[in-house]
Chain A
């Protein structure tokens, strides 16, 4: 009869949708692990401000990604069994995971705006913590040194950041060098090519671009992974859950 055929179609859709959701959840889990591992090594810059919520969101996403995987497989099983009780358990569990994943996506997006909306925060941090002797200062110094060397940049917006503001670096090392030596061009042996010209900022001897655009791109990459991908998973799961609710009423 017609009712029976409708239920069978729903069941098949649910099973396929849940298996697909399980795959999505596993991918979310993997992406969240990648963000948490922080392969670009920029975590100290967020930790010093105390606002490392992008990484908190990625931790949540690890758990919700795996939870999506488990609950979706359970849901496929419950749909195949045509059991009302199991479908209800599936719906409630999926809702709980949904709530946490929403939190993760929103947190990552908001924190990114705070961290790299404009360069002020990074600049202020660099000037305050670079060359500082404290734990936080050493971490920030190492991060910035590595950044300037690997990416080839100087300062947040440019070398003028070091010139226009007082800084811990200037207090410690005086006026001889207006900016750290890592701003200078180096040979492959890491010797400075031309210290004299680097000191006055000659364009060929030092890096004249700011590091902020690179930092912003890294954090944006992390955020798009967690928040936009999480958002797309949630959109799919929303419609799957609508389907599951309709199926539940027909059981």
Chain B
């Protein structure tokens, strides 16, 4: 009994210390946060950009200056409880590899991915943009790869500190708040029908339509008016406006003997006062003679014959029968 006692006692002490060490995951009172930089892709459908775990694990043991790694646990819905149940197991790192973490009949809904050694994240913030993008590797299958998160899921994060030599979980932060990823919409659901007509379009359409109608009506009216009231080509005759020459009909009103001096020599052809009878004989009244109306002799009026002419003129022509 005596030679075995120290060996068994040391064995027991070792086992107990390991057990105590294994159950002592220090919880740090920080929680991961979405990056605070101004960026459009902080949260997408499959990825989240997180702030780095600076100063989170300040209270890590001194061996962690060189030998510790920071890991991230994204957990979806029930993955939070699953991880909390599984975290005390020694094989936690390989318990839920990425491709099967969210698929299958009973998925764990969490996975672990390596962020980097703790020495990369000192407390003093260097200049530049630093972040960690969860889900950056897309559809990967290597151990502890940074696989894409399920679209539209609600994710919570936790940073872990592992001893890189022993793969033992040393420290963990709190769970972060819920981060809701975008659920992708189908662009066919975008309603691209016309919403509203602009004011300018209404003004143009209404005014132009009215004016066009007016123009058409006016033109039709004009053509009707033009057909009805076409002015004549010739000017209308206006009485009294014509100037007619006034002719002096002297030969009808006062007939006078006209002797053409050019033919005076030809006395036999043309009657003159010497040829024409100067006396007018009055014959007896015959019973069966016709009484004719005769005009006066067209002798030029002379002073001797004036009395005789006047006498003959006084006699009424129709009562006398003249014998020539």
- Shortest distance from the beta carbon of B219 to any chain A beta carbon, whole Å: 6
- Shortest distance from the beta carbon of A207 to any chain B beta carbon, whole Å: 10
Is the pair B138, A200 in contact by a Cβ cutoff of 8 Å?
no
Report Cα–Cα, A98/B148, bound state, in Å. 62
Is the pair A109, B201 in contact by a Cβ cutoff of 8 Å?
yes
Is the pair B226, A159 in contact by a Cβ cutoff of 8 Å?
no
A149 within 8 A of B: no
Among A34-42, A140-148, A172-180, the one that faces the other chain is A172-180
Report Cα–Cα, A127/B185, bound state, in Å. 11
Is the pair A113, B197 in contact by a Cβ cutoff of 8 Å?
yes
Which of B40, B47, B184 neighbours the largest number of chain A CB atoms within 10 Å of its CB? B40
Report Cα–Cα, A112/B198, bound state, in Å. 9
- Shortest distance from the beta carbon of A6 to any chain B beta carbon, whole Å: 16
Is the pair B218, A245 in contact by a Cβ cutoff of 8 Å?
yes
A117 within 8 A of B: yes
Among B23-31, B80-88, B209-217, B297-305, the one that faces the other chain is B209-217
Select which of B44, B200, B225 is within 8 A of A249 by beta carbon. B225
For residue B194, which residue of chain A has the nearest CB? Answer: A114
Is the pair B41, A201 in contact by a Cβ cutoff of 8 Å?
yes
Among A13-21, A23-31, A62-70, A162-170, the one that faces the other chain is A162-170
- Shortest distance from the beta carbon of A125 to any chain B beta carbon, whole Å: 8
Is the pair B182, A164 in contact by a Cβ cutoff of 8 Å?
yes
Select which of A99, A118, A203, A242 is within 8 A of B40 by beta carbon. A203
Is the pair B148, A113 in contact by a Cβ cutoff of 8 Å?
no
Is the pair A238, B211 in contact by a Cβ cutoff of 8 Å?
yes
Total contacting residues, chain B, CB less than 8 A: 49
- Shortest distance from the beta carbon of B218 to any chain A beta carbon, whole Å: 6
Is the pair B208, A106 in contact by a Cβ cutoff of 8 Å?
yes
B286 within 8 A of A: no
Residues on A with beta carbons closer than 8 Å to the beta carbon of B222: 91, 245, 248-249
A83 within 8 A of B: no
Is the pair A231, B207 in contact by a Cβ cutoff of 8 Å?
yes
Is the pair A178, B208 in contact by a Cβ cutoff of 8 Å?
no
Select which of B148, B208, B219 is within 8 A of A91 by beta carbon. B219
- Shortest distance from the beta carbon of A64 to any chain B beta carbon, whole Å: 13
Is the pair A200, B185 in contact by a Cβ cutoff of 8 Å?
no
Which of A109, A164, A200, A241 neighbours the largest number of chain B CB atoms within 10 Å of its CB? A200
For residue B229, which residue of chain A has the nearest CB? Answer: A249
B129 within 8 A of A: yes
Is the pair A164, B38 in contact by a Cβ cutoff of 8 Å?
no
A9 within 8 A of B: no
B114 within 8 A of A: no
Is the pair A242, B47 in contact by a Cβ cutoff of 8 Å?
no
Residues on B with beta carbons closer than 8 Å to the beta carbon of A248: 222, 226
Residues on B with beta carbons closer than 8 Å to the beta carbon of A73: none
Residues on B with beta carbons closer than 8 Å to the beta carbon of A200: 39, 41-42, 49, 131, 133
Report Cα–Cα, A227/B201, bound state, in Å. 9
Within residues 156 to 205 of chain B, which ones have a CB less than 8 A from any CB in chain A? 182, 184-188, 190-192, 194-198, 200-201, 204-205
A212-251: CB near B (< 8 Å → 1, else 0) gives 0000000000000001100100110010011001001100
A199 within 8 A of B: yes
- Shortest distance from the beta carbon of A89 to any chain B beta carbon, whole Å: 12
Using known A-B contacts A114-B194, A166-B186, determine if residue A241 contacts B215 with beta carbons closer than 8 Å.
yes
- Shortest distance from the beta carbon of A120 to any chain B beta carbon, whole Å: 4
Using known A-B contacts A112-B201, A113-B198, A202-B37, determine if residue A165 contacts B186 with beta carbons closer than 8 Å.
yes
B110-122: CB near A (< 8 Å → 1, else 0) gives 0000000000000
For residue A161, which residue of chain B has the nearest CB? Answer: B187
Using known A-B contacts A117-B195, A117-B196, A120-B192, determine if residue A203 contacts B38 with beta carbons closer than 8 Å.
yes
A138 within 8 A of B: no
Is the pair B205, A110 in contact by a Cβ cutoff of 8 Å?
yes
B95 within 8 A of A: no
Select which of A105, A113, A124, A245 is within 8 A of B192 by beta carbon. A124
Is the pair B129, A202 in contact by a Cβ cutoff of 8 Å?
yes
Is the pair B211, A206 in contact by a Cβ cutoff of 8 Å?
no
Select which of B40, B187, B192, B212 is within 8 A of A98 by beta carbon. B212
Residues on A with beta carbons closer than 8 Å to the beta carbon of B186: 165-166
- Shortest distance from the beta carbon of A208 to any chain B beta carbon, whole Å: 6
Report Cα–Cα, A88/B192, bound state, in Å. 48
**Ordered nearest first, which 8 A-B pairs have the shortest CB separation?**
A201-B40, A201-B41, A127-B187, A109-B201, A121-B192, A159-B40, A201-B39, A124-B190
6 A-B contacts, Cβ less than 8 Å apart?
Answer: A91-B219, A109-B205, A112-B198, A164-B185, A202-B37, A249-B225
**9 more CB-based (< 8 A) A-B contacts, given A159-B41, A166-B186, A201-B40:** A102-B208, A109-B201, A117-B198, A128-B187, A164-B184, A201-B42, A228-B200, A231-B207, A245-B219
Interfacial residues, chain A to chain B (CB-CB below 8 A) = 84, 88, 91-92, 95, 98-99, 102, 105-106, 109-110, 112-114, 117-118, 120-121, 123-124, 127-128, 158-160, 163-167, 174-176, 178-179, 197, 199-203, 206, 208, 227-228, 231, 234-235, 238, 241-242, 245, 248-249
Interfacial residues, chain B to chain A (CB-CB below 8 A) = 37-42, 44-47, 49, 129, 131, 133, 135, 138, 148, 182, 184-188, 190-192, 194-198, 200-201, 204-205, 207-209, 211-212, 214-216, 218-219, 222-223, 225-226
